[in-house]
Chain A
C-alpha cells in the first residue's frame, strides 16, 4: 500500500512535468518521420523499378516492405522503441532522479518518507509504468499512421489474433531491453547526485556501446572472443530485439548481413545476462542512495 502511495505521488510528478511530454512528442515525431520516409522511399523505389537485379538490395527492399504493413509494422515500431527509445529513457530517468537533487526536493520527500529503498523503488516502478504507457501510445500512433499510409496504396497487410496476443509479451520484452539503460542512468545520477551526470553517463554509455560494435570484428574469431562479446549488454539486447522483430514477421538478418543470428546469445542467456546487469546497477543505486547523506539543493 505504501509503495502504491509513492507510485501515485511519483506519477503526479512525472505526468505533470513538461519534460515528459516534450520527450514523448519528440519521440513520436521521429517515429512519424521514420514511417513517412520509409513509405516515400518504397514508393519511389517501386516507381523507378530499383533493385530488381540486386540480391542484397532486393532483400532490403523486401524487409522494408514488410515493415510498412501489418504485422511487420508493429515490429518496426518496436524497433523504434528499442532503438531511439533508449536515449529518451535515459533523459527521462536522469530528469526524474537528478532534478530531485538539483531542486533540493529529495530532502523534502525523504524527511517525510525515510524508507529510502522504497522511495527509490517507487520512483523506478513509476518510470517503468510511464515507459509502458509511452510504448502503447507509440504503438497506437505507429499502427494508425502505418495503416493510413498502407490504405493509400491499397496494402495494409493482415493482423490476426496471434499478433495481438504476442503484443503484451513484446511490450514487456521492449521494456526489458530499456531496463539496463534506465537502471544504469539511475545509478549514475545517484552516484553523481546530478541530472547532468546521469544524462551524460547514460548517453555516453550508449555511444560507448555503439563503439562495442568494433569488437564484433574480434568476435568473428570465435571462441573466447565471441564469449566475451556475448557478455556485453548490447549483444544480449540484440537477441531480445531480434525476438521482437521475428514475432511480427520481420527478417532483419536477411536485409543486413552483419546480423549473424547464429552468433547471437540464446534468449535464455540474453535474459540472464541483462538481468545480471540490471541487478548490479540497481544494487549499486540502492546501496549508494541508502548510505549517502542527503543535503540541500545543488
Chain B
C-alpha cells in the first residue's frame, strides 16, 4: 500500500435493494490520520455505507478501497488493519465481556494480552467478567469500542460510539478518539451528536437519501455560516438596501426579522454606526457563528439540495 494513500476511498459506491437506491454514487476520500465525520439523518444510508466498507454488504456498483486494498477483491488485506463498531455492539450474551473479546483474539491468532489492554483502555476491566447480557448500554458501547481496537488497527470505523454513554463517558470516549488520532490512527466517525463531530472532526461528509450533499473541512463548511447578525426595529427593507451597497459586506440574507450579513464580525461596530447614522434603529447586533448542527439541519432540510463541497 502507498503510504500516502487515502485510508478510505470510495468510487461511485452504490447500493440498491430492489428498486430502492440506498446509497447512490458515493465518492469519499478519507485521508490517513484524520478524523472524518460521516453524518446524515436516519435512513440516509450511513450504516449501509459502513457495511459496504466492511465487506458485509455487496455494492451494486462502484468500489471501496480501504488502506489501499479493494474491499471486494482483497477483503482480508483491506480489513486486516481495520477495527469497526457498527450500530449497536453485538456480542454473545452468555459470555463475559472478557470472553467475548477472547473469541475475537483467538480467531485472529492474537495473544490474550490484547484483551486486557483493550479492556483497560475503555475502563471496563472491573466488569470484564460479568456476562454481556447484564451490561448497561454504556458498557456495551465500551466493549464495542474495545473490540474495534483489539488488534491495534490503523483505521477505526465507529458508528455512534458515544450513544448510551453518560456525559463523563462521552467525554472519555472523545478523548480516546483524539488520542487515537494523535497516535496516527484514522478515525471514520459516524455520529448524530453534531457538537461531538464538530469538536473532533477535521472533515465531514453529509449524506441524505444516499447521496453526499456536503463534503469538506468543518472550518470550510462553517465559514459560510460566519458573519454579523442584525435585527432592526420595524421593516428591514431600508437596512437591506443600505447594507447591500457596502463593498466589504458580501451577501445579506433575511431570515424572518433577522439579517445575516457575510461580513467580518470585528466590523460589527461599523455596521451599527452605519445603520444608526441612517436612522435605522437596531434592536440587536452581534457577530455570529453557525454551528455544525445549524449547517446540518439547513442542508438536510432543503429538498433537492445541490452538493456543497
State whether A105 touches B90 (Cβ < 8 A).
yes
Chain A's closest residue to B82 (CB) is A111
B89 is contacted by which of A2, A6, A108 (Cβ under 8 Å)?
A: A108
Residue B86 at the A interface, CB < 8 A? yes
For the complex, what is the distance from the CA of A208 to the CA of B51, rounded to whole Å?
39
State whether A294 touches B51 (Cβ < 8 A).
yes
B51 is contacted by which of A5, A6, A109, A295 (Cβ under 8 Å)?
A: A295
**Chain A residues near B94 (CB, 8 Å)?**
16-18
Residues 103 to 136 of chain A near chain B (Cβ within 8 Å): 103-105, 107-115
Which of A7-15, A138-146, A186-194 is found at the contact surface with chain B?
A7-15
For the complex, what is the distance from the CA of A103 to the CA of B106, rounded to whole Å?
20
For the complex, what is the distance from the CA of A5 to the CA of B82, rounded to whole Å?
19
A242 to chain B, nearest CB (A): 40
Residue B242 at the A interface, CB < 8 A? no
State whether B57 touches A295 (Cβ < 8 A).
yes
**Chain B residues near A294 (CB, 8 Å)?**
51, 56-57
B68 to chain A, nearest CB (A): 16
For the complex, what is the distance from the CA of A9 to the CA of B103, rounded to whole Å?
5
For the complex, what is the distance from the CA of A26 to the CA of B247, rounded to whole Å?
87
Residue A296 at the B interface, CB < 8 A? yes
Chain B's closest residue to A111 (CB) is B54
A226 to chain B, nearest CB (A): 46
State whether B57 touches A293 (Cβ < 8 A).
yes
**Chain A residues near B103 (CB, 8 Å)?**
9, 12-13
Residues 74 to 88 of chain B near chain A (Cβ within 8 Å): 75-76, 78-79, 82, 84, 86-88
Chain A's closest residue to B132 (CB) is A103
* Number of residue pairs A-B, CB distance < 8 angstroms: 93
State whether B51 touches A293 (Cβ < 8 A).
yes
For the complex, what is the distance from the CA of A13 to the CA of B106, rounded to whole Å?
11
For the complex, what is the distance from the CA of A296 to the CA of B103, rounded to whole Å?
19
**Chain A residues near B88 (CB, 8 Å)?**
104, 296-297
Band of interface residues on B:
20 to 34
Chain A's closest residue to B86 (CB) is A107
Chain A's closest residue to B71 (CB) is A114
State whether A112 touches B57 (Cβ < 8 A).
no
Residue A1 at the B interface, CB < 8 A? yes
State whether B90 touches A104 (Cβ < 8 A).
yes
For the complex, what is the distance from the CA of A105 to the CA of B99, rounded to whole Å?
14
Residue B288 at the A interface, CB < 8 A? no
State whether A105 touches B55 (Cβ < 8 A).
no
For the complex, what is the distance from the CA of A296 to the CA of B58, rounded to whole Å?
15
**Chain A residues near B92 (CB, 8 Å)?**
13, 17, 99, 103, 105
B149 to chain A, nearest CB (A): 12
B107 is contacted by which of A112, A291, A296 (Cβ under 8 Å)?
A: A112
**Chain B residues near A6 (CB, 8 Å)?**
107
Interface centre among A17, A104, A112 (most CB of B within 10 A): A112
Residues 251 to 297 of chain A near chain B (Cβ within 8 Å): 291, 293-297
For the complex, what is the distance from the CA of A114 to the CA of B51, rounded to whole Å?
12
**Chain A residues near B75 (CB, 8 Å)?**
114-115
**Chain B residues near A103 (CB, 8 Å)?**
90-93
Residues 28 to 84 of chain B near chain A (Cβ within 8 Å): 47, 51, 54-58, 75-76, 78-79, 82, 84
**Chain A residues near B79 (CB, 8 Å)?**
111-112, 114
A9 is contacted by which of B54, B91, B104, B151 (Cβ under 8 Å)?
A: B104
For the complex, what is the distance from the CA of A12 to the CA of B79, rounded to whole Å?
24
State whether B107 touches A110 (Cβ < 8 A).
no
* Known pairs A2-B109, A112-B79, A114-B79; A297 contacts B54 (CB<8 A): no
Chain A's closest residue to B57 (CB) is A293
Chain B's closest residue to A4 (CB) is B109
**Chain B residues near A113 (CB, 8 Å)?**
107-108
**Chain B residues near A109 (CB, 8 Å)?**
104, 107
Chain B's closest residue to A292 (CB) is B58
Residue B142 at the A interface, CB < 8 A? no
**Chain B residues near A104 (CB, 8 Å)?**
87-88, 90
B56 is contacted by which of A17, A291, A293 (Cβ under 8 Å)?
A: A293
Q: A93-108 toward B: CB 8 Å interface, digit per residue (1/0)?
A: 0000001000111011
Chain B's closest residue to A115 (CB) is B76
Residue B280 at the A interface, CB < 8 A? no
B163 to chain A, nearest CB (A): 14
B109 is contacted by which of A5, A114, A115 (Cβ under 8 Å)?
A: A5
B95 is contacted by which of A2, A5, A16 (Cβ under 8 Å)?
A: A16
For the complex, what is the distance from the CA of A109 to the CA of B58, rounded to whole Å?
17
Residue B128 at the A interface, CB < 8 A? no
**Chain B residues near A17 (CB, 8 Å)?**
92, 94
**Chain A residues near B104 (CB, 8 Å)?**
9, 108-109, 112
For the complex, what is the distance from the CA of A107 to the CA of B91, rounded to whole Å?
10
Residue B192 at the A interface, CB < 8 A? no
For the complex, what is the distance from the CA of A295 to the CA of B90, rounded to whole Å?
12
**Chain B residues near A18 (CB, 8 Å)?**
94
**Chain A residues near B56 (CB, 8 Å)?**
107, 110-111, 293-295
9 contacts between A and B (CB under 8 A): A6-B107, A12-B99, A12-B106, A13-B95, A16-B99, A107-B56, A108-B147, A111-B56, A297-B88
| A-B contacts besides A12-B106, A103-B92, A111-B55, 19 pairs, CB < 8 Å | A1-B109, A13-B92, A16-B95, A17-B94, A103-B90, A103-B91, A104-B88, A104-B90, A107-B51, A107-B86, A109-B107, A111-B54, A111-B79, A112-B104, A112-B107, A294-B57, A295-B51, A295-B56, A296-B88
What are the nearest 7 A-B pairs in CB distance?
A: A104-B90, A114-B75, A9-B107, A9-B106, A294-B56, A293-B57, A5-B109
